[in-house]
């Protein structure tokens, strides 16, 4: 059964489709088994608006102080045709960058389509591969197939070409202090960069070149050094992230099979039927969703309402031998529910844990 675009457009309703970016794709791989998220993302549904409409808006935005800081730093690094960036690449990383050409592939006009921009990126990449022309390509527009649908990526990164080989340069405003940065932030940056590397490799492969040879797995992370505004560049090997990404994208719940099983009339239009529509598509909530999905608060409330152990965390669910319901787990622990054969071991462990807790707590009373 193949999916047709109108199916997804109908699901989205009247709203315009939302774009994927590296952040959403990287996040997508964090919970590949979630059908709700898969369908909504594939259809380009504005999940933030949906969550708000359902009364579960995500209460946080970004602080203007952080935005200002990020923008200032990026502007500084890119000023004068990326002068600071080139100094870094030459001095800090010892790269022999012979000549410099800077191409900004950002939108020229308001109404310039993504296809047009992607075509331009494609042309310049092709030229670079064949002739070695061009050094820095700012705002390339890349494309990546997500669950059978093309997603356009508008990375705030620079593709840096040296000797016919591309590197992704990502500018981030978190500080590197004494050669170390916060692990979470580096990990997030690496996951995002992996998306760009993958998209660029796919493009290179489409153009008939060897993707692994032509696109480096080493990306350059440009961050402020210590407590200053001075940039520093650090090479980061993103092979592990790339492997995870490729594996997860491959096994990403195939959206078309899910869509095929949905009722015909279902739509995510912001109306009275929205909640029912959302509930029709099964979610797989885990606390990690809170940091990556706009629907998290809605799904959490849903998971809690039906007493799902997963709402307490994946490790809790694992400790309980995969028992999904709080009520069932407690009934097994108290011995009031006779376990099925496959749960016998889990039930025994729970009963033992319950007895040990009782004994230990009775000692104090």
Partner 1 sequence: MSTLTSLAQLQAVASGVAQPLATVRHCHLAEAPLVMVPLKLAGEAAAPLAVMLGSDPGSPTLLVVPQPRNRDQRFAFAADLARVALKYIESSRGQVEELPPGKEGEERIRYSDAPQLLVPNRGGVAFLRMLGRSTRFRRTDGPYAVEPSVPVLGRWLTWFTDRYDHPGSCLLLTMTETLRLHWATGQSALEDGNLAALVGWIDPPEGLTGPQAAALAEDPLATPPAGPTTDPGFDNEVLAPAVAAYDAARGPARDRAEERVRAVLETQLAPTWELMWRAVGLLRGLPEGASVPQRWERDRDSFTYFHQTFGEAYPQARRDSPVRAAKRLHDMERAQDAYDAQRAFDDPLVMAEHRLNGLAFGGEVTGCDPTRKDESGKRPKLRPHVWVRTGDPVRLDPGTTVCSAANPKIKGTVVEIGPDGAVLVELTGGMGRKLTPEPGTVPQVGDRVVFTSLTLGSFGPSRFPDKENTPWTHGGPPADYEPTDDDAAEDWS
Q: Summarize as ranges the residues that interact with partner 1 (CB under 8 A).
A: 59-70, 173-175, 177-179, 182, 224, 226-230, 287-288, 290, 304, 307, 309, 311-313, 315-316, 319-320, 326, 329-330, 333, 349-350, 352-357, 359-361, 363-364
Taking the least distance from each CB to partner 1, the nearer of 1 and 65 is 65
Q: Which is nearer to partner 1, 108 or 352 (CB)?
A: 352
Number of H helices, E strands in the chain: 15, 8
| Residue 355: CB minimum distance to partner 1, A | 7
Identity of the residue, 91 or 145, whose beta carbon is nearer to partner 1 in the bound complex:
91
Q: Residue 178 Cβ, how far from partner 1 at the closest point, in Å?
A: 4
Residue with tokens 């969703």, as numbered in its chain: 289
For residue 151, the SS3 value is: strand
In angstroms, give the least distance from the CB of 181 to partner 1: 9
| Cβ nearer to partner 1, comparing 213 with 348 | 348
Q: How far apart are CA 286 and CA 34, in angstroms?
A: 10
Shortest Å, Cβ 331 to partner 1: 10
Nearest approach, Cβ of residue 221 and partner 1 (Å): 15
DSSP letter string over 46-76? -HHHHHHHTT--------HHHHHHHHHHHHH
CB atoms within 10 A of CB 227: 8
| Alpha-carbon gap, residue 347 to 333, rounded angstroms | 6
Task: Tell the smallest beta-carbon distance from residue 337 to partner 1 (Å).
Answer: 13
What's the burial of 361, exposed, middle or buried (CB within 10 Å: 0-12/13-18/19+)? exposed
What spatial distance separates the first Cα and last Cα of the chain, rounded to whole Å?
A: 64
What does the alpha-carbon distance between residue 89 and residue 222 come to, in Å, rounded to a whole number? 10
Comparing CB distances to partner 1, the nearer of 19 and 72 is 72
Whichever of 272 and 359 has its CB closer to partner 1, that residue is 359
Positions of E strands within the chain = 102-104, 136-138, 142-146, 149-153, 157-162, 165-171, 218-224, 231-237
Cα 202 off chain centre by: 18
Tell me how far, at minimum, the Cβ of 72 lies from partner 1, in Å: 10
Which of 66, 108 has the CB closer to partner 1?
A: 66
């Amino acid at each position: 059964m193949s999916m047709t675009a109108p199916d997804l457009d109908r699901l989205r309703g009247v709203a315009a489709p939302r774009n994927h970016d590296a952040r959403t794709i990287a996040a997508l791989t964090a919970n590949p088994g979630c059908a709700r998220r898969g369908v909504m993302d594939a259809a380009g549904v504005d999940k933030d608006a949906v969550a708000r409409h359902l009364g579960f808006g995500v209460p946080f935005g970004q602080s203007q102080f952080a935005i200002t800081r990020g923008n200032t730093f990026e502007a500084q690094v890119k000023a004068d045709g990326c002068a600071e960036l080139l100094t870094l690449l030459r001095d800090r990383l010892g790269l022999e960058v012979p000549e410099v050409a800077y191409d900004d592939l950002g939108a020229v006009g308001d109404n310039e389509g993504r296809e047009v921009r992607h075509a331009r990126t494609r042309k310049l990449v092709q030229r670079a591969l064949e002739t070695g022309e061009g050094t820095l390509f700012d705002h390339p527009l890349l494309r990546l197939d997500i669950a059978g649908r093309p997603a356009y990526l508008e990375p705030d990164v620079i593709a840096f070409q040296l000797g016919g080989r591309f590197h992704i340069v990502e500018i981030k405003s978190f500080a590197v202090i004494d050669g170390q940065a916060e692990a979470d932030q580096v990990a997030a940056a690496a996951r995002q960069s992996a998306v760009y590397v993958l998209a660029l490799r796919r493009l290179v492969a489409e153009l008939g070149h060897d993707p692994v040879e032509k696109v480096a797995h080493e990306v350059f992370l440009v961050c402020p050094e210590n407590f200053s505004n001075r940039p520093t560049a650090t090479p980061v090997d993103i092979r592990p992230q790339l492997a995870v990404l490729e594996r997860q994208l491959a096994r990403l719940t195939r959206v078309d099979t899910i869509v095929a099983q949905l009722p015909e009339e279902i739509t995510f239009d912001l109306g009275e039927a929205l909640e029912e529509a959302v509930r029709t598509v099964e979610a797989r909530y885990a606390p990690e969703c809170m940091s990556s999905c706009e629907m998290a608060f809605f799904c959490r409330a849903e998971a809690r309402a039906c007493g799902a152990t997963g709402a307490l965390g994946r490790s809790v669910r694992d400790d309980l031998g995969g028992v999904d319901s709080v009520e069932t787990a407690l009934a097994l622990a108290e011995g009031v529910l006779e376990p099925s054969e496959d749960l016998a071991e889990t039930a025994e462990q729970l009963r033992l844990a319950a007895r040990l807790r009782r004994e230990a707590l009775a000692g104090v009373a």
